[in-house]
Structure 1
Amino acid sequence: MVLADTDVDGKTNEITRFAPLLDQIGDLRDTVITADALHCQREHVTYLAERGAHWIPTVKGNQCATRRSDTSPFQAGQTRREVCWV
């Protein structure tokens, strides 16, 4: 479900439009926000936490520190991973 959208012209970028876009939505408490890896920014996480929202981030391989601190089930050893050679 799309709750809000905004144009991003050549004078700005998606990062700067993140908070103004979500400001269009009154109450974000207990709302789950998903966004692509571009929005894996400290300012965005702080903004969402202050608004009471939950966030499912997309973390790419070039975010080394973030990837090292990942505590997803895969990283926490709660799933099974096998490598098989044939």
Structure 2
Amino acid sequence: MSARIRNAAKAVTGARMRSASRPRGLWVEVDPGFHVGNDRRQFLGSITGTPREGFRAFGPQSDFLGMFDELDAAKVAVAAAASSVAAAAEVEPQLS
């Protein structure tokens, strides 16, 4: 394997490890005070509110997660809830 390919593989692996510790997803403010999160695989959830009134976070199935003073804290909570829902779906068998 060439050094260039080996270095590229290491960079990708390192990026995966770093991204696991950060909130994930693309966040878009679709209306004033209404943020929606998505990643390549799933809908993460939504956040409503403003810095003055606080931010209400909702999970991927619109379940209320809590009130937060900061938008970034709400994003972390939504991403964590979406991760736990995705992990549970992989563990639990599907009913047919």
TM-score range, shorter chain: under 0.3
Q: TM-score, normalised by structure 1?
A: 0.24
Greater relative contact order (CA < 8 Å, ≥ 6 in sequence)? 1
**Larger strand share, 1 or 2:** 2
